Structure 1
Amino acid sequence: MAGSAPAYAGVVIDLDGVCYRGDAAIDGSRAAVTALRDAGIGVMFATNNATRTPEQSADKLAHLGFDVAPDDIMTSAVAAAALLEPGDRCMVIGMHGLRAAVTDRGCELADDPAQTDVVLTGLDRDLTYDKLVRGTRALLAGARFVASNADRSFPDADGISPGAGVIMVALETATGRAAQVAGKPEPTLFETAASRLPDGRLLMIGDRVETDIAGAAALGWDTGLVLTGITGADQARDADPAPTYVADDLAALVRDLLDSHA
């Protein structure tokens, strides 16, 4: 790539199912990120995972051998918090990353349905029926309904696990209310990540057609689908919108991309 102009000014990369699964880096993903940067292409990460803060996500990536700063990572928790007003009393059904984003926004954490302005959902590994009851009653009392993301599932270390969207849908079903979704495929995450990249042509790389690919395509970006996460080869062939690129993994996609513009 020495002396050649990159095809893209920047690339936005998903994390779960693209860079790692569970606590293990996907083979070749670290070298792929390094290769993009060495080619003069800006790199940002955008994840619907709201369980961690950007700092925690950067720490995890560092543990896996990636060189990534917190400012290189946009999460759906941060995007969701941006939809709140400072001072809102927010009932969070989620984990530390979501609660931290809410308090960083200047909002108050709430438990009482009668004293709640917003119900905010994310993935909650400690979900209880009582949390669903309190969320339902707060929404029926008129609280706003915001979801960090609507992902039905996500790729975990040992298989596919239920995602934050399962909790969102439970409350939608109980109340007849529709959540305002902050994460992919909605534009907030993409646009915020893009604001931290050089001006020019952008590429989104992800593992899920209905979020990564559909959301980026709606903004006019090129898209790359890798088959190490949620979407399989059969689904990729039938995808609408069709990804610009499909590859077995991030390493293969980046290698083909850079080779084609060498």
Structure 2
Amino acid sequence: MSDALLAAYDAVLFDLDGTVYHGTRVIPGAPETVRAAREHGTPVRFVTNNASKAPDEVVAHLTGLGMPAETDEVHTSAQAGVQLLAERLPEGAEVLVVGTRALADEVARAGLKPVRKNGDRVQAVVQGHSPDNTWAALAEACLAIRAGALWVACNVDATLPSERGLLPGNGSMVAALRTATDVVPLVAGKPQPLLFETAARSVGAQRPLVVGDRLDTDIAGAVAAGIDSLVVLSGVATPKQLIEAIPAERGTFLARDLTGLTEPAEDLRIGPRPGWTVTVEDGVLIAEGDGEELDLLRALCDTAWETGVTELGERAEAALS
């Protein structure tokens, strides 16, 4: 375990949807890996862009999936969104809530007044994912935003992983309001660094590691916070997205799922890999050699990121298909 990836860091910050579970289905190996981190003495934090559940509900969900947790180990985009509101509004200010009861409760705990209807006293709108968000709720928010209310989006994830596949996320609903108002909201959750910074501070971590499945939120948030990251292929990210990733969305390590945390760090690092040689010929990435497909992907990413060439040769494309 001394050479395992998790041993090289003083905290592990886990994304949830697509990394630890898909809705009500745990991703194989997740409970054992979280347990291994705890047994090693590495603090863990669960950092989620999903604003629909309170921390105690997240704890109950994790516990039911075989991963006991404490409420202070959970950091949600709802908490981050309300933090932004509390920093900008006077105590008792009315906040129009588009989201779940859990989000409204967070607003109330911050000394603000959650409401569901627009009115002359509404000073802000906070928007988080809820399966019950309706056109009527968006209409109330539209009126408030057009009247000048501060607008905070807990996150802008376009999709939400589930056991049935990808579903519309909060970002899809935010996009509707952006179209209707021509206003861009403040974003509280990933890819902004606030959630990761808060989670790392909560354990006094100087060298944390982010584990996530989504390049444009998890990995981009880690890059923005200056934190190393492990990309897992158990959720949204695809090999094509990894190869084409812009600098702000490039991870440090790559694994099939979060069980990679117990593997040697150098085996997971994105870069040149034993057994594979990747070159550029006529604007195409050419792979030669033999070995594990994930090692090939790590090597392809390294060359693509260095050269800007992302088109795959036949062998590389076949190996990753």
TM-score relative to the length of structure 2: 0.77
Task: Note the C-alpha offset of 1:93.
Answer: 0.7
| 2-structure distance, mates of 1:24, 1:164 | 21
- What corresponds to 2:111 in structure 1? 106
| 2-structure distance, mates of 1:21, 1:67 | 17
- What corresponds to 1:80 in structure 2? 81
Aligned pair partner of 2:252 in 219, 244, 250: 244
Render the CA deviation track for 1:157-196: whole Å, top value 9, x for unaligned: 1010010011111111111111000000111101110111
Which secondary structure does the structure 1 equivalent of 2:171 belong to?
helix
User: What RMSD, in angstroms, separates the aligned Cα atoms of the two structures?
Assistant: 1.9
- What corresponds to 1:96 in structure 2? 101
Bigger RCO (CA 8 Å, 6+ sep): 1
- What corresponds to 1:33 in structure 2? 34
Which secondary structure does the structure 1 equivalent of 2:210 belong to?
strand
Question: Between Structure 1 and Structure 2, whose CA radius of gyration is higher?
Answer: 2
| 2-structure distance, mates of 1:149, 1:30 | 26
Aligned pair partner of 2:210 in 190, 199, 204: 204
Render the CA deviation track for 1:19-67: whole Å, top value 9, x for unaligned: 1101011100011111112222221110001000001000100111102
Aligned pair partner of 1:184 in 183, 190, 197: 190
Change (3 A) 1:3 1:131: closer
171-180 vs 104-113, greater mean Cα deviation: 104-113
| 2-structure distance, mates of 1:60, 1:258 | 30
Are 1:255 and 2:262 an aligned pair? yes
Q: Does the 8 Å CA contact 1:42/1:198 hold for their aligned counterparts?
A: no
Q: Percent identity?
A: 38
109-118 vs 147-156, greater mean Cα deviation: 109-118
Aligned pair partner of 1:193 in 175, 193, 199: 199
| 2-structure distance, mates of 1:155, 1:11 | 21
| 1-structure distance, mates of 2:263, 2:168 | 33
Q: Does the 8 Å CA contact 1:226/1:250 hold for their aligned counterparts?
A: yes
**Counterpart AA for 1:255:** T
Task: Note the C-alpha offset of 1:3.
Answer: 10
Task: Note the C-alpha offset of 1:258.
Answer: 6.4
| 1-structure distance, mates of 2:161, 2:186 | 24
Change (3 A) 1:191 1:3: closer
Change (3 A) 1:257 1:155: farther
Q: Does the 8 Å CA contact 1:114/1:141 hold for their aligned counterparts?
A: no
Q: Which runs of 5+ in 2 are unaligned?
A: 269-321
| 1-structure distance, mates of 2:168, 2:217 | 16
Q: Does the 8 Å CA contact 2:3/2:265 hold for their aligned counterparts?
A: no
| 1-structure distance, mates of 2:224, 2:147 | 35
| 1-structure distance, mates of 2:205, 2:181 | 43
Which secondary structure does the structure 1 equivalent of 2:262 belong to?
helix
Q: Does the 8 Å CA contact 2:48/2:76 hold for their aligned counterparts?
A: yes
Render the CA deviation track for 1:76-124: whole Å, top value 9, x for unaligned: 0001111123312011111122112111111112213333111111112
| 2-structure distance, mates of 1:19, 1:3 | 23
| 2-structure distance, mates of 1:2, 1:247 | 18
**Counterpart AA for 2:143:** R
**Counterpart AA for 1:109:** P
Which secondary structure does the structure 1 equivalent of 2:209 belong to?
strand
**Counterpart AA for 1:213:** I
| 1-structure distance, mates of 2:131, 2:3 | 48
Task: Note the C-alpha offset of 1:131.
Answer: 1.4
**Counterpart AA for 1:44:** R
| 2-structure distance, mates of 1:181, 1:79 | 9
Q: Which runs of 5+ in 1 are unaligned?
A: none
TM-score relative to the length of structure 1: 0.94
Change (3 A) 1:256 1:240: farther
11-20 vs 164-173, greater mean Cα deviation: 164-173
Task: Note the C-alpha offset of 1:213.
Answer: 0.5
**Counterpart AA for 1:42:** P
